[in-house]
Structure 1
Amino acid sequence: MPESVSVRCPACRSEHRYTAPSYPCACGAPVVPPLDPDAAPTPVVHRAWQEEWVTVRCGRCGRPGEWPRPESGCPCGTVLRIPVTGPDTPPAPNGSPSPASGATPDSYGTPDSYSAPAPDGTPAPESPRAAGPASRRPDIPSVPIRTARDAVTATVLYLRLLGHDDIRRAHRRPPSGIGLAGRGVLAQIDPSARPVTSRDVECLWLMSMSESAPCLYFTLAGYAPDARERADRLGVPLFLLDLTGTPQPVNAPAEALDATRS
């Protein structure tokens, strides 16, 4: 199936090209949602959490993973959902474990509210940064990252360690990735296989300025050099999610914030 298709907006009739993002499978191979060139895009008028994911099977190892359903923003302001061909595995139904994390969709609460699953009581592997007799900070719960939902879970658990217990889906969808919000905080997660750019950082910072709230950025694929430089200037904490689900600070603002978790 093609990774790029022509998209015509049904609202303004303008046409542009859409290229599907790739996501990193646990085996290391890139996974791209299979776009359907024969189906028309549909405007997003109502969001439901279960409808925002598509299950894609890795072409190398065959592992199914849940990733954000392709969407494209038209210059007229309409958000378009890009059709994909039928996935090999249907998304996990309510009350059924997702393929990797073991969390159910209801573990996140309502579609607009997240309540991260509590640790199961088994001590999580200690982060190398928290090791040592002088450290009294709590361990970061381990959530192996195999899908975008796992990345969301790991981020929510970390934000809870920073004192944010009311994390929910952000009302304003970021240009890329997944937006989370809580009382006095905004966070963005990019589960794709491309490094975060300076524009991505600037967009999050501008959103945080409009909300009068500090922001954090989490990604699986790392940051371009200009993105790190821009984040340092703007004071945006940058974190790298490794495949164990442990957020690693990658700049000074993130180091300072990580030191406050309790």
Structure 2
Amino acid sequence: MPESVPVRCPACRREHVYTAPPYPCACGSPAAPRLDRAAGPVMLAHRAWDEEWVTVRCAACGRSNQWPHPELGCPCGTVLRLPVSDAPSPTARPEADAHQAPARRAPFRPLTIRTARDAVTAAALYLRWLGYRDIRRADQRPPSGIGLAAHGLVAQVDPAVRPASSRDVECLWLTAMTESAACVYFSLSGYAEEARARADTLSVPLFVLDLTGTPTPVNGPGQELSESGAG
């Protein structure tokens, strides 16, 4: 069960009860950050990408995953970042062979999208579900949206209100070619007809993110990736 801790907002002194959200590990088991009860929350004044993630060890298979840092929004308008503990969970029981995973993946558990940051997090969670590791912000910033990278992969998350264009797809593909990597595109508003045609020609997997945070493949390469995973 996810753990809950009492949290007092330093700004308005309101009392809250926070429950750490679980995220799906690649093995299919839920994993949640272990909260540090001894440390108080920190008021979030600014964001830095490197501070957005915490390492969480899966109790079932022993994998180390990076999940979004736990945060709580107080009604007074203050955003609180909850400290996490590096100590392993007392209920953690790694299996004898951490390299063995179920033949079939568990269903993907989406993250509701309310902001552009949520869209990036949802895409990162989906990539991890597919089997990609070490998801991070890409070194090269794409012409639109936000770039993500993993070992052997570059991805683009486009939260724009307009459909992605063929130029957007081509730019991602060229970036992937220069890094000898595969690529995948996530869009909140879909794709122009010529963008889909170009993606099919270049074998770029396309996904549409709905507001539930569920990526849906919209072309052949996307369907193939969703079924086979990172391989």
TM-score of the superposed pair, with normalisation by structure 2: 0.58
Task: Tell me the CA shift for residue 136 of structure 1.
Answer: 4.2
**For residue 176 of structure 1, what is the aligned residue in structure 2?**
144
The answer (yes or no) to whether the contact 1:95–1:105 under 8 Å persists in 2 is no
The residue number in structure 2 matching 1:116 is 67
Task: Label 1:179 to 1:158 Cα distance change in 2 as closer, same or farther (>3 A).
Answer: same
Please give the residue correspondences for 1:92-111 in structure 2 after superposition, counting only pairs within 5 Å. Answer: 93=44, 106-109=51-54
Give the direction of change, closer, same or farther, for the CA distance of 1:196–1:95 in structure 2 (3 Å limit): closer
Q: Counterpart in 2 of 1:25?
A: none
1:3 matched to which residue of 2? none
1:135-150, aligned counterparts within 5 Å? 136-150=104-118
Is the CA contact 1:144–1:244 (under 8 Å) kept in the aligned structure 2? yes
**Aligned residue runs from structure 1 range 42-191, under 5 A:** 93=44, 106-109=51-54, 115-117=66-68, 136-191=104-159
Q: Which residue of 1 aligns with 2:212?
A: 244
Distance in 2, Cα, partners of 1:169 & 1:109: 14
Distance 2:46 2:144 in 1: 28
Compute the RMSD of aligned alpha carbons.
2.7
| Alignment gaps of 5+ in structure 2 | 1-42, 56-64, 70-102
Give the Cα separation in 1 of the matches to 2:191 and 2:138: 22
Contact 1:107 1:115 in 2 (8 A): no
Cα distance in 1 for partners of 2:45, 2:111 equals: 20
What's the TM-score once normalised by structure 1's chain length?
A: 0.51
Cα distance 1:105–1:244, how it changes in 2: closer, same or farther (>3 A)?
farther
Query: Displacement of 1:116 after TM fit?
Result: 2.5
Partner residue in 1 for 2:165? 197
What whole-Å deviation, never above 9, does each CA across 1:149-179 have from its counterpart, x for those lacking one?
1001101111101111201100110011000
The CA distance in 1 between the partners of 2:218 and 2:224, in whole Å, is 11
Q: What is residue 255 of structure 1 aligned with on the other side?
A: 223
Answer with 135-144 or 240-249: which moved more: 135-144
Query: In structure 2, what residue type is equivalent to 1:108?
Result: W
In the alignment, the residues of structure 1 paired with residue 68 and residue 141 of structure 2 have an alpha-carbon distance, to the nearest angstrom, of: 23
Q: After TM superposition, which residue ranges in structure 1, 4 or more long, deviate above 4 angstroms?
A: none
Stretches of structure 1 lacking an aligned partner (at least 5 in a row): 1-91, 97-103, 119-134
Q: 1:116 to 1:139 in 2, by over 3 A?
A: same
Counterparts of 1:95 and 1:137, CA distance in 2: 36
Q: Could you tell me the percent identity over the aligned residues?
A: 57
Shift of 1:142: 1.8
- Secondary structure, counterpart of 2:190 in structure 1: coil
Letter in 2 for 1:182: A
